[in-house]
Amino acid sequence: MTKTDILEELKKLPPEDVLSIIEAALRELREDFAPTKQLLQDRERKHRLAIAAEALYDDYATDTELTSFTALDAGDFHA
């Protein structure tokens, strides 16, 4: 069945049935695209974090105030 055939058949139905069909089709599309949307959001988040890390790299490499607590890293935290 082609798109034209479907549209012609929809014209034969009452408006409330057409609306119901459209809503069901939209639900199906949302389910199909949900994983893709989440994947894109995850990639965007990682990209933004990478940009932020690069922007702050020089500060952490040269500013001892930002890294002073790393001297405690070797100690036993739970002691």
Q: Does residue 43 sit within a domain?
A: yes
Q: How many domains does the chain have?
A: 1
Q: Does residue 78 sit within a domain?
A: no
Tens-place pLDDT, residues 17-70: 999 999 999 999 988 888 888 888 999 999 999 999 999 898 888 887 877 777
- From 76, 58, 75, select the one nearest 67 (Cα to Cα): 58
Q: Give the Cα separation of 8 and 60 in Å (integer).
A: 65
Query: What are the Cα distances from residue 54, in Å, to 1, 60, 61, 66?
Result: 53, 10, 11, 15
Q: Does residue 37 sit within a domain?
A: yes
Q: Does residue 76 sit within a domain?
A: no
Q: Does residue 77 sit within a domain?
A: no
- 58 lies in which domain range? 3-68
Q: Does residue 79 sit within a domain?
A: no
pLDDT (0 to 100) of residue 79: 59
Q: Does residue 47 sit within a domain?
A: yes
